[in-house]
Amino acid sequence: MLAVFTASGFAGLIYESIWSHYLKLFLGHAAYAQTLVLAIFMGGMAIGAWAASRLSPRLRDLLLAYALIEAAIGIASLFFHEVFVAMTAMAFDHVIPTLGSPGAVQAFKWSVAAALILPQSVLLGATFPLLTGGVLRVQPERAGYVVAMLYFTNSLGAAAGVLASGFYFIAAAGLPGTLVAAGVVNLAVALAAFVIRPRAKHAVAPAPAPTAGPSVPHLKMLLAVAALTGASSFMYEIGWIRMLSLVLGSSTHAFELMLSAFILGIAFGGLAIRRRIDAAANPLHLLGWVQVAMGVAALATLPVYSSTFRVMETAMKALTATESGYVAFHFVSHAICLAVMFPAAFCAGMTLPLITAALLRKGAGERAIGQVYAANTAGAIVGVFVAVHIGMVLLGLKGLIVAGAAIDLALGVVLLGSGTGGRRRTYASAAIATVAVVAALVGVQLDAHRMASGVFRSGILLRAGGTEQAVLQLDGKTATVSVTESRGGVALRTNGKSDGAIRLGEGAPYDDELMMTLLGTLPQVFAPEATQVANIGFGTGLSAHVLLASRRIELLDTVEIEPAIVQAAARFRPRNARALDDPRSHLHFDDAKTYFSAGQRRYDVIVSEPSNPWVSGVSGLFSVEFYGEVRRYLRDGGLFLQWVHVYEMTPALVATIVTALAGNFEDFEIWMPNHGDLIIVAVHKGKLPRPDAGALLNPLLRAELERFNIRNLDDLLVHRVAGRAALAPYYGAFGVRPNSDYAPVLDLNAGLARFLRQQADDLPRLLEAPIPVLALFDRPRSQQPDPARFSAGAHPWLRRAERAKQAELAAAYLRGGRPAILDLLPATLAADLALLRAGLVDCRIDISTATARRALMEVAGLVNGNLPQPVRTSLWRGLESSTCAGVGAARPWLSLHAAIANEDATRIAASADALLQGELSADLAPYAVAAHMTGLLLGNDGPGAMRSFQAHRHELGAGGDAWSPVFRFLVGQTGGG
């Protein structure tokens, strides 16, 4: 039965984890939603335990009842996903739009959530009292041992379930498959319990009649202790999770490690107390000392916590950025969790067995098992609400832990004061409690600099007196928000991770500023007539500030989960003044999905600026389901814009986002503010309009863009990458599953990409490719930015802009031959240009065929992808008309480059095919194959392009990684993978 109950605990924590995922999709990720999910789950557990306490004395066969309940839980889990999808679809499509009142909407959603998980939660709550009672009927003489061992094994299984769910099952089977796996475990548990039951012959004997409740000594006091210690334990857990997220990061895996460490402590506490319970002369006094020890251990977590930052700093410097290093990172993270949580959780694991055994010894009967479990769970619910909605905000992290410890210490003093000789124990325990609390309040200060460091990413700790200083720290309901200042710059940090930085003083603006400014600019350029706009996530407020530069906008609804973010944003004035002060700006503290569904408003534009996808919960803003939902709140032709981070990401992970979005929006483009960020601009129904240069005449918007020397449409267009026709097939060629709420591939894998410090740099590489495939396949053709019209000093953020200026200079030199131009170019490029000019234009030297081919390919890669078509066509026409001797040998390549410049599909294919019939050096073969595929694809011969790729694939090895994005792009255009 111990093995059976281990498996039951394993499945039970899987349910808690997965149900939380599901209900947050429906309720949102706001603080009230998180606490509501816990309340429903734990409330159901309390009801189940209380019901079991009432019914168990009347049941002849508790083990049979237990087996039937486990079977019912398992069967229910097999159908949960389908029921959830049907009920939530009904809610969003038919009920919520008719309710009108936001309060009615919330009440209805909470009712649906309760209907989804409350029945199973009630059943789960009944399992512990029923199984414990059943075993106690067999071994009543070892009541304390039995209760402690069952508590230990169930908790141990739960700790394993947390890790198995997060690190294996969700990745392997998604949320629905994980529920099915847990259901199968429950059915196996039910079968095992049913098979074992006949061996326990005495288990079916009637239980002795319990002593009447009122006559049981200390019954009310012990139930109150169970409730209060449950509350304090969850105050610790909420506080520790927030504290450790600043050390380990806020990823889903980090939370799973924290939860498993907490449950492991509880499990081993039950194991440690198993033999002492029955031997204890007075269980109340033993319980009192345990409570004191728990309070002291909880206070001790504060100084221990301060040292964990140093441990993580050392680990990040020692660990290599490899997959094995990532595994080691998790082991270090778990060790840190255990160091902080285990001692106090260990004591917490002793309390329930002690309270239960004490009541059993006092004659309360097996009813006491359910009563204690119910009281403890009910107290935990109160603890969660108090911690999240009161303690965290009013007391802060340190105050929350001290408050929880004060409860346990007070309980210990009261328990030790009972019975004979109580005064002496009372004085001793009170003295210990007083010293511990005073020491924690006076002697321990949490370092705001360390907590704002994000040491789990950088391996570097901020220190007082350093170049970057923490000037503000706010403990909100969902996150700890910090503001740091450094040399005129101000950064917003959420749980230690930077979410935006702005230069308020002298100096060049940050990359973040350009991204946020463009996120506010592009809606005005694409939809200058937009009047109703929504913004998901306040951040620094700069994006909203830029959006409100438009005089056309009548309403900007900004939806932000955490009020502390907006409080901190006051530090960014005046760069966000309109977002904070403009009467058109309306702030709503809620989850976006919940807010939109309640309001049922349709917008002209919705802007989303989420945090990094590795942060727990954020990947849901990049999912198939989210994109499908956000369309509901856009008018026909309305725009959706989203910030996508490509630092700490891989191209395949970006593909999970783009494929999810492409399945929900008819047209989209990707823009690139800098090499670390992307902006997706998508349209709901219809085609994306062309950018309107007239929007740039707005003086308020011009003032914002002037910081980046963006003064005309060409300055802006240099940040455009391509549209759907070019990019949807490319990302589809990765063959990855679109990110989904129910198969969260982004959430599961982004943490590894962060640790490996990966960069999804494929789009910059495609923009710099020797053959300009992005421009050639972009349909309908957009305006090509003309480097001749770039503003002075613009675009230091993109290599593309620098290459465009170099292309302009290169073309000017080949046409005019002014030597001074070469001084403005990189040495290698200047040398190639000088050779080409001397050998193919001026006929001054004999240039070798090999040299001419190589130099032409380099120059073609520069000019064909960065100059307007008339300019590059004229350049190649002039080179082809040359009568120099070197032109003859180079003519096949001149013909190919000219065909690419002129976008002549037939000529591209023919020229490349002619080259492929001859001998090609290893460095030229990839170019010829890619050009051949390009010509065939532009001529709508996808199968022919795929045949060419397969026929010449063995020749592409020398191209190496530099050509891999190009060939993936071309294969994508064929429809292959």
pLDDT tens-digit map of 933-959: 999 999 999 999 999 999 998 888 755
Region 386-393 average pLDDT = 90
Nearest to 348 by CA among 428, 405, 426, 276: 405
State which H helix or E strand residue 143 sits in. helix 143-164
Of 880 and 198, more confident: 880
Nearest to 520 by CA among 728, 703, 784: 703
Region 665-677 average pLDDT = 96
Beta carbons of 458 and 319 less than 8 angstroms apart? no
Beta carbons of 606 and 536 less than 8 angstroms apart? yes
Residue 191 pLDDT greater than 90, yes or no: yes
**C-alpha span between 524 and 548 (Å, rounded):** 10
Residue 136 pLDDT greater than 90, yes or no: no
Identity of the highest mean pLDDT range in 203-207, 506-510, 590-594, 639-643: 639-643
Beta carbons of 775 and 902 less than 8 angstroms apart? no
Residue 148 pLDDT greater than 80, yes or no: yes
**C-alpha span between 161 and 671 (Å, rounded):** 42
Region 600-626 average pLDDT = 93
Global confidence as pTM? 0.92
**C-alpha span between 281 and 143 (Å, rounded):** 15
pLDDT category of residue 607 using cuts at 50, 70 and 90: very high
Nearest to 867 by CA among 805, 778, 779: 805
Nearest to 147 by CA among 350, 406, 376: 350
**C-alpha span between 788 and 812 (Å, rounded):** 11
At 205 the pLDDT is 47
Residue with tokens 């066509």: 873
pLDDT category of residue 421 using cuts at 50, 70 and 90: low
Region 872-885 average pLDDT = 90
Residue 132 pLDDT greater than 60, yes or no: yes
pLDDT category of residue 134 using cuts at 50, 70 and 90: confident
Compute the half-sphere exposure of residue 273: CA atoms within 13 Å on the CB side of its CA: 33
At 199 the pLDDT is 67
At 887 the pLDDT is 86
**C-alpha span between 860 and 106 (Å, rounded):** 61
**3 state DSSP class of 481:** strand
At 96 the pLDDT is 80
Contacts of 850 (CB under 8 A, 6+ apart): 921
pLDDT category of residue 213 using cuts at 50, 70 and 90: very low
At 890 the pLDDT is 87
**3 state DSSP class of 678:** strand
Residue 212 pLDDT greater than 50, yes or no: no
* Integer angstrom CA distances of residue 552 from 441, 531, 584, 703: 54, 6, 11, 17
Cis peptide bond N-terminal to 574, omega within 30 = yes
Region 144-170 average pLDDT = 91
Contacts of 328 (CB under 8 A, 6+ apart): 315, 319
pLDDT category of residue 89 using cuts at 50, 70 and 90: confident
At 203 the pLDDT is 46
Q: What is the pLDDT of residues 229-281, one digit of tens each?
A: 999 999 999 999 999 999 999 999 999 999 999 999 999 998 998 888 878 78
At 30 the pLDDT is 55
> For the residues of 406-444, what is the DSSP string, one character each?
HHHHHHHHHHHTSSTTHHHHHHHHHHHHHHHHHHHHHH-
At 31 the pLDDT is 58
Pinpoint the alpha helices (H) of 737-826. Answer: 745-755, 762-767, 773-777, 799-816
Sign of the torsion formed by the C-alpha atoms of 706, 710, 711 and 713:
negative
Residue 204 pLDDT greater than 50, yes or no: no
Which residues lie across from 723 on neighbouring strands? 669
> What Rg do the C-alpha atoms of the chain give, in angstroms?
33
Nearest to 116 by CA among 87, 155, 159: 87
pLDDT category of residue 211 using cuts at 50, 70 and 90: very low
The rounded mean pLDDT for the chain is 91
- Quote the percentage of the chain above a pLDDT of 70: 97
Residue 594 pLDDT greater than 90, yes or no: no
Region 710-731 average pLDDT = 95
At 32 the pLDDT is 63
**C-alpha span between 156 and 6 (Å, rounded):** 7
Q: Would you put residue 100 in left (φ > 0), alpha (ψ -120 to 50) or beta?
A: left
**C-alpha span between 533 and 552 (Å, rounded):** 11
**C-alpha span between 785 and 803 (Å, rounded):** 12
Q: What is the pLDDT of residues 770-828, one digit of tens each?
A: 999 999 999 876 678 899 899 887 778 889 999 999 999 999 999 988 999 999 999 99
Region 866-875 average pLDDT = 92
At 918 the pLDDT is 87
* Integer angstrom CA distances of residue 732 from 444, 631, 760, 943: 54, 22, 16, 17
Beta carbons of 620 and 745 less than 8 angstroms apart? no
Q: What is the pLDDT of residues 576-587, one digit of tens each?
A: 999 999 999 999
Beta carbons of 742 and 81 less than 8 angstroms apart? yes
Q: How many residues are given for the chain?
A: 977
- Quote the percentage of the chain above a pLDDT of 90: 71
**C-alpha span between 964 and 977 (Å, rounded):** 13
**C-alpha span between 714 and 525 (Å, rounded):** 13
How big is the CA angle at 473 (ends 470 and 476), to the nearest 5 degrees? 155
Region 615-632 average pLDDT = 93
Beta carbons of 740 and 624 less than 8 angstroms apart? yes
Q: How many CB atoms lie within 10 A of CB 458?
A: 13
Beta carbons of 974 and 937 less than 8 angstroms apart? yes
Region 213-226 average pLDDT = 80
Buried b / exposed e along 361-388 (16+ C-beta atoms within 10 A):
bbebbbbbbbbbbbbbbbbbbbbbbbbb
pLDDT category of residue 517 using cuts at 50, 70 and 90: very high
Contacts of 754 (CB under 8 A, 6+ apart): 249, 251, 457, 612, 614, 648
